[in-house]
Structure 1
């Protein structure tokens, strides 16, 4: 019984791999590249958007970790200090995310775009 189940799972996986390899060629033939920027200004806008998104996302992670640590500290001064450090890191992350457009504008001015 166990061998029959293993064999049927193996055939199902093999069939899925074959099916996906057959359909992948057809899907690749009709794809369009959408990531081409039409100007240097658009590249800088994309860089700004990515920087703000990544920095704000990381800051949110640190804020969440700090909040969880603070709630779970139970009065332990070491854990409370670690939570406060996470809050400070989140603040730095949000500050850098707010300054990212300025940094990109400075780079745009240096490049001359």
Structure 2
């Protein structure tokens, strides 16, 4: 569903409604490969990737597991890629190897140059 506050022009341009749901337009979806990954596994051969959504999962892991997963994410991201976390995941662990950027009220993280493979 398009987020609240999205202008009607952007919603009309990039989404279409299907019954009670909103779907991202084909012009946006077609050039993008959406793929689930198990971040507990080694870095996939298909890396590097542009964007990782890691929302509402790290809150269930202990600190060593979070560090290991964040290190894998850092290795799999393009140097100009982004990591998106849920609000509960933001912690000092994330700041190690990532630089926080605010876009609106959302925090996005990019690999720091020293952390780029």
> Is the pair's TM-score, using the shorter chain for normalization, greater than 0.5?
no
TM-score by length of 1: 0.26
TM-score by length of 2: 0.25
Structure of higher CA gyration radius: 1
| Bigger proportion of residues as helix | 1
| Bigger proportion of residues as strand | 2
